[in-house]
Amino acid sequence: MLSANLKQKISNTPTSPGCYLMKNSHGEIIYVGKAVVLRSRIRSYFQKQGRDVSEKVRRMVREIADFDWIATDSEVEALILESNLIKQYRPYYNVRLKDDKSYPYICVTMKDRFPRPMFIRKIRMSADDGNLYFGPYSNADAVRETLRLIRKVFRVPCGYKDPAQSKGRACLYRHIGQCLGPCVGAVTEAEYERTIREVILFLEGRQDKLIKDLQKQMEDAAEKLQFEKAARLRDQIQSLKQVMERQKVVSTKLKDQDVIAVAAEDGASVAVALFIRGGKLVGQEHFMLEGVSIEDMRESVTEFVKQYYQAAAYVPREIILQCSIYEQDVIEKWLSGRRGGKVVLLSPAKGERRKILDMAVKNAETLLEQVRQSSELDRSQVETELKELQSALGLPVTPRRIECYDISNIMGAEAVGSLVVFEDGRPLKSDYRRFRIKYTPERPDDYAMMREVLTRRLTGRLRQSEKFAELPDLIVVDGGRGQLNTALQALADAGERVSVIGLAKEYEEVYMPNAAPLMLPKNSRALHLLQRVRDEAHRFAVEYHRNLRSRRMASSILLEVPGIGKARRSALLKHFGSLKKIREASLDEIASAPGMNRPAAEKLYKFLHSE
Query: CB–CB of 22/67 below 8 Å?
Result: yes
Predicted local confidence at residue 489, as pLDDT: 93
Q: How far apart are CA 315 and CA 277, in angstroms?
A: 12
Nearest CA-CA partner of 284 in 348, 355, 367, 219 = 367
HSE-up of residue 73 (Cα within 13 Å, Cβ side): 0
Nearest CA-CA partner of 146 in 283, 245, 255, 309 = 283
Predicted local confidence at residue 21, as pLDDT: 93
Predicted local confidence at residue 521, as pLDDT: 87
Predicted local confidence at residue 554, as pLDDT: 56
Question: Superfamily for 4-94?
Answer: GIY-YIG endonuclease (3.40.1440.10)
Segments of the chain assigned to CATH 3.40.1440.10: 4-94
Coil vs helix vs strand at 397? coil
Predicted local confidence at residue 225, as pLDDT: 82
Predicted local confidence at residue 611, as pLDDT: 41
- Beta bridge mates, 318: 257, 344
CATH number of 559-608: 1.10.150.20
Give, to the nearest 10 degrees, the angle between helix 140-154 and helix 227-245.
150
Segments of the chain assigned to CATH 3.30.420.340: 401-547
Predicted local confidence at residue 247, as pLDDT: 46
Strand 18-23 relative to strand 66-71: parallel, antiparallel, unpaired? antiparallel
What residue spans of 107-171 are helical by DSSP H?
140-154
Segments of the chain assigned to CATH 1.10.150.20: 559-608
Strand residues in 479-540 grouped as ranges (E): 500-503, 510-511
Over residues 224-234, the pLDDT tens digits come to: 787 777 887 78
Query: Over the chain, what is the mean pLDDT?
Result: 82
CATH number of 257-369: 3.30.420
Q: Which residues of the chain have pLDDT under 50?
A: 125-127, 245-248, 252, 412, 611
Q: How far apart are CA 85 and CA 69, in angstroms?
A: 12
Strand 344-346 relative to strand 318-321: parallel, antiparallel, unpaired? parallel
CATH number of 401-547: 3.30.420.340
Predicted local confidence at residue 404, as pLDDT: 95
- Reduced 3-state DSSP string for 541-606: HHHHHHHHHHHHHHHHHHCCCCCCCHHHHHHHHHHHCCHHHHHHCCHHHHHCCCCCCHHHHHHHHH
Q: How far apart are CA 553 and CA 422, in angstroms?
A: 33
Q: How far apart are CA 423 and CA 313, in angstroms?
A: 36
Over residues 26-76, the pLDDT tens digits come to: 889 999 999 889 999 999 888 876 666 777 788 888 889 899 998 888 888
Over residues 347-375, the pLDDT tens digits come to: 998 888 888 898 889 888 888 887 777 77
Strand 318-321 relative to strand 257-265: parallel, antiparallel, unpaired? parallel
Q: How far apart are CA 260 and CA 271, in angstroms?
A: 7
- Beta bridge mates, 107: 118, 133
Predicted local confidence at residue 124, as pLDDT: 55
